[in-house]
Chains A and B, each alone.
Chain A
Amino acid sequence: MNPKNPTALAVESWPFTTVLVANRGEIAVRVLRTVQKLGLRGVVVYHAADRGTAAVKMADQAIEISGATPVAAYLDGAQIIAAAKSAGAGAIHPGYGFLSENKGFCAAVEAAGIRFIGPTPEQIDLMGDKVRARTYVEKAGFPVAPSAIEDDDPASFVERSRQVGAPLLIKPSAGGGGKGMRIVRDLALLEQEIERGRSEGQRYFGDGRLYCERYIENPRHIEVQVLGDGQGGVVHVFERECSVQRRFQKIVEETPSPALSPALRAKICETAAGIARSIGYRNAGTVEFIFGQGGEFYFLEMNTRLQVEHPVTEEITGIDLVQEQLRVAAGETLGYGQGDVKSQGHAIEFRIYAEDAARGYTPTTGPILVLHPPEGEGVRWDSGVLQGGEVTSAFDPMIAKLIIRGTDRKDAIARADKALKETVLLGCKTNTAFLRRLIAHPAFVAGDVHTGFLDANPQIAAEPELPSQTLQALLAAAALSTRPMRDVADAVPDLHAAIGGWRN
Chain B
Amino acid sequence: MQHAFRLGDAEHNIALSRSARAYRLHVGEQVLDVDLAVAADGRAWLTLGERHLEVVVATRGDDVFVHLDGEAYQLRYRHPLDRLAAAAGGSAADHIRAPMPGSIVAVSVKAGDAVTKGQTLLVMESMKMETTIAAPRDGVVAAVAYEKGQTFDRDALLLSLERAAG
Verify if B96 is at the interface (C-beta below 8 Å from A): no
Q: Can you list, as one digit per residue, whether each of A481-497 has a CB less than 8 Å from chain B (1) or not (0)?
A: 11011101110111001
- Please measure, in the bound complex, the distance between the C-alpha atom of A366 and the C-alpha atom of B101, giving whole angstroms: 10
B55's partner among A372, A477, A497 (CB-CB below 8 A) is A477
CB <8 Å contact, B56 and A426: yes
A466-484 CB mask vs B (1 if < 8 Å, else 0) is: 1001111111111111101
Q: Is B154's CB under 8 angstroms from A364's CB?
A: yes
Residues from chain B with Cβ under 8 Å of A370 in the complex: 42, 56, 58, 65, 67
Q: Are B25 and A472 in contact (CB under 8 A)?
A: yes
Q: Is the CB of A489 within 8 A of B65?
A: no
How near does chain B come to A366, taking the closest CB pair, in angstroms? 8
User: 8 Å CB contacts to A: which residues of B119-166?
Assistant: 126-127, 151-154
User: Do A478 and B5 touch (CB < 8 A)?
Assistant: yes
Within the complex, the shortest CB–CB distance from A492 to chain B, in Å, comes to 6
Q: Once the chains bind, are A362 and B127 in contact (CB under 8 Å)?
A: yes
Contact of A363 with B126 at beta-carbon distance under 8 Å, contacts A475-B27, A476-B32 already known? yes
Residue ID in chain B nearest A493 by CB atoms: B18
Q: Smallest Cβ distance from B32 to chain A, in angstroms?
A: 7
Select from chain A the residue with minimum beta-carbon distance to B72. A426
Partner of B57, one of A366, A430, A477: A477
Q: Mark A436-450, 1 if CB is under 8 A from B, else 0.
A: 100000000000000
Please tell me which one of the listed residues B16, B20, B68, B126 contacts residue A489 in the complex, with CB atoms under 8 A apart.
Answer: B16
Interchain CB contact under 8 A, A494 and B20: yes
* B30, B72, B103, B126: the one within 8 Å of A362 (CB): B126
Interface centre among A425, A470, A479 (most CB of B within 10 A): A479
* Complex Cα gap A243–B71 (Å): 25
Q: Which of B27, B64, B72, B99 contacts A425 (CB 8 A)?
A: B72
CB pair A497 B18 closer than 8 Å: yes
CA distance in complex: A492, B26 (Å)? 15
Question: Are A470 and B69 CB-contacts (below 8 A) given A393-B101, A393-B126, A479-B25?
Answer: yes
B70 lies within 8 A of A480 (CB): no
| B66, A393: Cβ atoms closer than 8 Å | no
B111 contacts A by Cβ under 8 Å: no
Known contacts A362-B100, A427-B65, A478-B77, A486 near B56 by CB under 8 Å: no
Q: Kindly state the separation between the CA atoms of A475 and B55 in the bound complex, as whole angstroms.
A: 12
CB distance from B139 to the nearest CB of A (A): 27
Report the separation of the CA atoms of residues A466 and B7 in the bound assembly, to the nearest whole angstrom: 10
Instruction: Establish whether residues A492 and B17, one from each chain, have CB atoms under 8 Å apart when the complex forms.
Output: yes
A112 at interface by CB-CB < 8 Å:
no
Q: What is the number of residues of chain B that contact chain A, defined by CB distance less than 8 Å? A: 58
CA distance in complex: A369, B35 (Å): 22
**Smallest CB gap from B55: residue in A:** A477
Q: Name the residue in A359, A363, A481, A500 with the highest tally of chain B Cβ atoms < 10 Å from its Cβ.
A: A481
User: Cα distance A471–B3 when bound, in Å?
Assistant: 15
User: Are the C-beta atoms of B16 and A477 separated by less than 8 Å?
Assistant: no
Q: How far is the CB of B21 from chain A (nearest CB, A)?
A: 9
Task: Give the docked Cα–Cα distance between A363 and B101 (Å).
Answer: 7
Asked if A494 contacts B59 (CB within 8 A), the reply is: no
Q: Does B12 contact A (CB under 8 A)?
A: yes
Q: Is A420 interfacial (CB-CB < 8 Å)?
A: yes
Closest beta carbon of chain B to A123's beta carbon, Å: 27
Residues of A within 8 A of B53 (CB): 473
Question: Of residues 4 to 45 in B, which have CB atoms within 8 Å of A's CB atoms?
Answer: 5, 7-8, 12, 14, 16-20, 23-25, 27, 30, 32, 34-36, 42, 44
Closest Cβ of chain A to B2, distance in Å, is 10
A393:B103 contact, CB within 8 angstroms: yes
Is A474 a contact of B68 with CB atoms below 8 Å? Answer: yes
A478 contacts B66, C-beta separation under 8 Å = yes
From residue 230 to 253 of chain A, which have CB atoms closer than 8 A to chain B? Answer: 247
Docked Cα-Cα span, A341 to B75, in Å, equals 50
**If the complex has contacts A478-B75, A480-B36, are A497 and B17 also in contact, measured as CB distance less than 8 A?**
yes
Cα–Cα distance between A494 and B18 once the two chains are bound (Å) = 5
Taken together as a complex, chains A and B put the C-alpha atoms of A478 and B57 apart, in Å, by: 8
**CB neighbours of B70 from chain A (8 A):** 420-422, 433, 436
Name the residue of chain B whose CB is nearest to the CB of A393. Answer: B101
- Is there contact, CB below 8 Å, between B14 and A489? no
CB distance from B59 to the nearest CB of A (A): 6
**Is there an interface contact between B77 and A424, defined as CB atoms closer than 8 Å?**
no
Contact A480 B101 (CB under 8 A): no
- Determine the chain B residues whose CB is within 8 A of the CB of A182 once the complex forms: none
A469-B59 Cα distance, complex, nearest whole Å? 22
**Contact string, B61-105, partner A, CB cutoff 8 A, digits 1/0?**
000111111111111010100000000000000000001111100
The 6 closest A-B pairs by CB, nearest first: A421-B70, A426-B65, A369-B58, A393-B101, A480-B36, A362-B100
Interface residues of chain A, those whose CB is within 8 Å of chain B, are 247, 359, 362-367, 369-370, 372, 392-394, 420-422, 424-427, 429-430, 432-433, 436, 463, 466, 469-482, 484-486, 488-490, 492-494, 497, 500
State the B residues within 8 Å of A (CB): 1, 3, 5, 7-8, 12, 14, 16-20, 23-25, 27, 30, 32, 34-36, 42, 44, 46, 48, 51, 53, 55-60, 64-75, 77, 79, 99-103, 126-127, 151-154
**21 sampled A-B residue pairs with Cβ under 8 A:** A359-B100, A363-B100, A365-B154, A369-B58, A370-B56, A372-B56, A420-B70, A427-B60, A432-B71, A471-B12, A472-B27, A473-B46, A477-B46, A477-B55, A478-B5, A480-B36, A481-B36, A481-B57, A482-B64, A482-B77, A488-B1
